[in-house]
């Protein structure tokens, strides 16, 4: 599933082409994706100006005066800005058509999702959609730091990796980036969250911020189904130090990296460098 850097890469790629544009119409080629697409998308979004494109966790929001279209890419979804007359491909389920200049055909924001695990929903003005309620802070925000993690983790017996991936703790730190951050901070993913010191949580928070920022700058992680809006894959995968490298030499000490399942997710770490 695309993680936070992939979604942020998509948001930044769409920003100059979509923000400030007016919606001409919405074309739904099917009534549902993961969930039914609410009628407000077709009824309220047309003729609205897209005032902003925001990201919250792994969701994208297209903000208008009438409300916000809420999108999730699921496991295989992609958003492209294309000429309106671009031939429709298989799995092109949604077109949000933008008003062209001088009456000419404009562009469309096209949502393609082969597996249909993504979603297109609606958030009314002044409300928070239930999917966004109860989420933790953004990892790149000032609200997320070592003190925050330390205080929240007291008494928690779950593995620190599970704790870090809990969306009510912090949003958008998925399996790949949790593994990389724990490796960078030298913390074993098996250690109980409540047994990590304040100082080590400070190092972990800094590692999360640095790794996510670098991944965004590099275009995200190349997953099998993910490509950015311009069609280019991300490049961060080439730089992974732990994730997906079970049994290979540790980049620091040369010992074989260990691999196990934590919370039904594959986890790789160095038994020597991570304590």
Active-site residues, by number, are 2-3, 58, 265
Name the token pair of 229: 């809006």
DSSP conformation letters of 36-81: BPPHHHHHHSTT-B--EEEEETTEEEEEETTEEEEEE-TTT-EEEE
Q: Is residue 74 exposed (0-12), middle (13-18) or buried (19+ Cβ within 10 Å)?
A: buried
Q: Is residue 264 exposed (0-12), middle (13-18) or buried (19+ Cβ within 10 Å)?
A: exposed
- Interatomic CA distance for residues 155 and 136, integer angstroms: 18
Name the token pair of 68: 């916000």
- Interatomic CA distance for residues 161 and 175, integer angstroms: 8
- Interatomic CA distance for residues 72 and 215, integer angstroms: 19
């Amino acid at each position: 599933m695309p993680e936070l850097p992939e979604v942020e890469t998509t948001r930044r790629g769409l920003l100059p082409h979509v923000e400030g544009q007016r919606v001409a119409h919405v074309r739904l080629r099917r009534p549902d994706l993961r969930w039914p697409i609410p009628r407000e998308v077709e009824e309220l979004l047309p003729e609205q100006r897209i005032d902003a494109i925001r990201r919250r966790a792994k969701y994208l929001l297209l903000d208008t005066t009438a409300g916000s279209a809420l999108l999730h890419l699921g496991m295989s979804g992609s958003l492209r800005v294309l000429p309106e007359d671009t031939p429709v491909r298989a799995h092109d389920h949604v077109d949000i058509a933008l008003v062209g200049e001088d009456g000419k055909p404009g562009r469309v924001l096209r949502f393609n999702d082969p597996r249909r695990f993504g979603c297109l929903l609606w958030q009314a003005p002044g409300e928070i959609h239930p999917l966004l309620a109860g989420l933790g802070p953004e990892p790149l925000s000032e609200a997320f730091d070592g003190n925050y993690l330390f205080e929240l983790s007291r008494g928690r017996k779950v593995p620190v990796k599970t704790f870090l991936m809990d969306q009510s703790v912090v949003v958008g730190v998925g399996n790949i980036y949790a593994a990389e951050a724990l490796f960078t901070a030298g913390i074993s993913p098996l250690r109980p969250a409540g047994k990590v010191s304040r100082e080590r949580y400070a190092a972990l928070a800094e590692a999360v911020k640095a790794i996510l920022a670098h991944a965004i700058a590099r275009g995200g992680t190349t997953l099998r189904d993910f490509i950015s809006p311009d069609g280019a894959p991300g490049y961060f995968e080439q730089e992974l130090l732990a994730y997906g490298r079970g049994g290979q030499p540790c980049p620091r000490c040369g010992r074989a990296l260990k691999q196990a399942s934590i919370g039904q997710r594959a986890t790789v770490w160095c038994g020597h460098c991570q304590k």
